[in-house]
């Protein structure tokens, strides 16, 4: 836009469009639902624990097909190798 106070309508419109397009470029992109859900699930410890258990069970079944022929056997197997309910004994290490 010119420095004088009298400007044509075309100059004003061009300046407004230029300012508007700059505002759109600086506007943060909003994520769609699937991307937000993916990010939230990646942070969810229970979900990640469930995926870990599924993968452990799958690997165990690949090694021994009789490992998890029913729910009880599968549960015993998973509890034996992956138990988060155990209390941890933590001792302070002094240097």
Q: What is the mean pLDDT of each run of 10 residues along the chain (95 residues)?
A: 56 71 64 86 86 89 88 88 71 79
List the Cα angle 72/76/78 in 5-degree steps: 115
Distance from C-alpha of 85 to C-alpha of 69, rounded to nearest angstrom = 24
| pLDDT number for residue 48 | 86
| pLDDT number for residue 1 | 47
Distance from C-alpha of 75 to C-alpha of 82, rounded to nearest angstrom = 10
Record the pTM.
Answer: 0.52
User: How do the domains of the chain map onto residue ranges?
Assistant: 33-81
| pLDDT number for residue 46 | 86
Distance from C-alpha of 38 to C-alpha of 17, rounded to nearest angstrom = 36
| pLDDT number for residue 2 | 47
């Amino acid at each position: 836009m010119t420095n004088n106070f009298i400007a044509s309508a075309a100059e004003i419109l061009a300046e407004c469009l230029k300012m508007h397009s700059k505002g759109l470029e600086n506007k943060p992109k909003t994520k769609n639902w699937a991307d937000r859900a993916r990010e939230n699930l990646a942070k969810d410890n229970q979900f990640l624990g469930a995926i870990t258990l599924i993968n452990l069970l799958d690997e165990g079944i690949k090694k021994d097909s009789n490992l998890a022929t029913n729910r009880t056997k599968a549960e015993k197997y998973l509890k034996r190798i992956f138990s988060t309910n155990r209390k941890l004994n933590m001792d302070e290490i002094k240097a």
